Amino acid sequence: MTIAVYAGSFDPVTAGHLSVVRQAARLFGHVVVVVAINPEKHTLFTVAERMELLREVVALHPNVSVASTEGLIVDYARAIGASVLLRGVRGATDAQFETTLAQANRALAPDLATLFLPAESHLAEVSSSRLKEKLARGEDVSDFCPPAVAAKLRQRLSPSSLRSS
């Protein structure tokens, strides 16, 4: 069985991320969605919250699991016997960044292949940052994330929660 690793910050998971997960679930025996922990990156949600949301929204895919790591993704992938790293691509800007990342990963782990999976075209402009910005402005985000994610974002970005943090 081929194991693929799809890593990101997922702060929060978007419909674009889920588009990549759906494709990957059809292509591979097992897909591990990994919350990559970067202590220097300021996130809206804790690692536990991001993992909980991911588990909820990938539950329909029995061959998809969720994990986290503070280390290098290539080290995590090797430790679980994965042979493929998945990267989502929204457009040309992503492609350049992701190609550079894939080259760095290949230098570290030539035994791991990187596969780029594009999100569906109507999701090309969806990012976690843009999702948070739209919601903070009171815009509808239902096309850009699952309802559970939108609810959690509304709760976290409500004026009362911002005053208490």
Calculate ∠ Cα 49-31-95, nearest 5°.
85
Q: How confident is the model at residue 147 (pLDDT cuts 50, 70, 90)?
A: very high
- Helix or strand or coil: residue 116? strand
Task: State the catalytic residue, choosing from 19, 128, 134, 163.
Answer: 128
Q: How far apart are CA 144 and CA 140, in angstroms?
A: 9
Q: What tens digit of pLDDT does each residue of 79-117 get?
A: 999 999 999 988 777 888 899 999 999 999 999 999 999
How far is the first Cα of the chain from the last one, in angstroms, to the nearest whole number? 45
Is 26 annotated in a binding site? The answer is no
pLDDT reported for residue 164: 45
Is 83 annotated in a binding site? The answer is no
pLDDT reported for residue 159: 58
Assess whether pLDDT exceeds 90 at residue 125.
no
What does the mean pLDDT of the chain come to? 90
Catalytic-residue membership of 42: no
Is 56 annotated in a binding site? The answer is no
- Helix or strand or coil: residue 36? strand
Q: Quick check: 123 and 15 in contact, CB under 8 A?
A: yes
Q: What is the DSSP-derived secondary structure letter of residue 120?
A: P
Task: State the catalytic residue, choosing from 41, 42, 137, 163.
Answer: 41
pTM of the predicted model over 0.75: yes
Give domain 3-123's CATH superfamily: HUPs (3.40.50.620)
Catalytic-residue membership of 128: yes
Is 10 annotated in a binding site? The answer is yes
Task: State the catalytic residue, choosing from 22, 30, 50, 90.
Answer: 90
Sequence spans of domains, the chain: 3-123
